Amino acid sequence: MAAHSPEQLAHEQRRYLQVFAWLAILTAVELAVIYMPIPHLAIGSMLVLLAGTKASLVALYYMHLAVERRTLTYIALTPAVLCVLLVFALLPDLGAITRALTHAPPPAAAVEAHH
Amino acid sequence: MSHAAVAHEHVLEPTETPLTPESWGKLGMWIFLCADAMSFGGLLAGYGALRYGDPTWPRPSSILGIQLTALMTFLLICSSVTMVEALASIRQGDQRGLRKFLMLTILGGIMFLSLQAYEWNKLIFHEGQSISRNNFGATFFILTGFHGCHVFSGVVYLSAVLARALAGAYSVHQNNGVEIAALYWHFVDLIWILVFTFVYLL
């Protein structure tokens, strides 16, 4: 990142506009996806994938992670990994919240009631 | 600062970091952004847990205007482009380009904030949404509000950079300040990409 020759800068600026085009296209795709007649889970997975791609494009090319030291990328990835762990840490609570809100009996009682 | 080590009594402090040889400031900004990402991550995970656990959660698109926020997303992406152009300009020694693109970036941020104010005004005063009415409102206003605070801070930050640019503080060889401000601005854009997807579209 230290030296910037005119050719390098011209190349970088072309790359910036390419990334901009991709971000705009992927946003349009996201908007199209939510109206597609497919299961909600499929829509959700596609949206997460598209958002992840867009966020990576910004981090790699606009925040220059693609040309920085690799260690800086690991540092930048740390919060992403921790956030995924956080979501898994919250998972056990989710069932309890659902049952409390719907006043449904816990799974064991539901099975017994069925018999 | 970058060529000689600074001596404090007998302790020698390195003036260069192997991670970001240009400046310590850049490493500092990255570390701040990681901490800030965790704040957003916590809010998003909490939102996810509340929403996933609540079968009565409304579909966001039935309450929120997707078209308007798609426009806001586009604006923020455009302002990221003008920001990279501002940095590219000063790296070529183009002072006018730096000022022009910085102004455009700030304008993009102000337009984003105006649209968000319009959206909030509509939701709160015309559609009865509020931060205390239900979990949908609580998570929506906290997430978009926290992000809006970041955009506002970014506008103030970039205005300070613009003031320094007008005073001629940056040059081909001295533009770390612009690059560090750009990192912050792109991060705010990156977070909006995630908020837009998880809060509005999903």
B112 contact A CB<8A? no
Per-residue pLDDT, A92: 76
Along the 115 residues of chain A, how does pLDDT read in single tens digits?
Answer: 445 677 888 888 889 999 999 999 999 999 999 888 888 889 989 999 999 999 999 999 999 888 888 888 999 999 989 988 988 888 777 766 666 666 655 555 544 545 5
Terminus-to-terminus CA distance in chain B, angstroms? 48
Q: What is the mean pLDDT of residues B28-40?
A: 94
- Please state whether beta strands B6-8 and B11-13 pair in parallel, antiparallel, or not at all (unpaired): antiparallel
How far apart (Å, rounded) are the C-alpha atoms in residues B201 and A78? 26
Partners of A92 on chain B (C-beta within 8 Å) are none
How far apart (Å, rounded) are the C-alpha atoms in residues B177 and A19? 23
Ramachandran sector of residue B11 (left: φ over 0; alpha: ψ -120 to 50; beta: rest): beta
Per-residue pLDDT, B1: 45
Residue numbers of B between 35 and 74 with CB closer than 8 Å to A: 35, 37-38, 41-42, 44-46, 48-50, 52-56, 61, 66, 70, 73-74
Looking at the DSSP assignment, which residues form a beta bridge with residue B12?
B7
> For residue B80, what are the CA distances in angstroms to A97, B42, B195?
39, 25, 16
Q: Which residue in B has a C-alpha nearest to residue A64's C-alpha?
A: B183
How far apart (Å, rounded) are the C-alpha atoms in residues B41 and B195? 10
- Give one DSSP letter per residue of B129-184, joined into a string: --TTT-HHHHHHHHHHHHHHHHHHHHHHHHHHHHHHHHTT---SS--HHHHHHHHH
* Number of A–B residue contacts, CB under 8 Å: 137
How far apart (Å, rounded) are the C-alpha atoms in residues B90 and B179? 10
B31 contact A CB<8A? yes
Residue B6, token pair as written in the block? 């600074």
Partners of A17 on chain B (C-beta within 8 Å) are 81
| Domain ranges across chain A | 1-68, 70-115
How far apart (Å, rounded) are the C-alpha atoms in residues B177 and B120? 33
How far apart (Å, rounded) are the C-alpha atoms in residues B112 and B116? 6
Kindly provide the ipTM of the predicted complex, given to two decimals.
Answer: 0.85
Residue-wise pLDDT for B61-105, tens only, equals 888 888 899 999 999 999 999 999 999 999 999 999 999 999 999
Of A16, A55, A94, nearest to B84 by CB-CB distance is: A16
CB distance A34–B201 less than 8 Å? yes
Largest CA distance in chain B: 66
Nearest C-alpha of chain B: how many angstroms from A114? 22
Domains belonging to chain B, first-starting first, are: 24-53+63-201 (1.20.120.80)
CB distance B19–A13 less than 8 Å? no
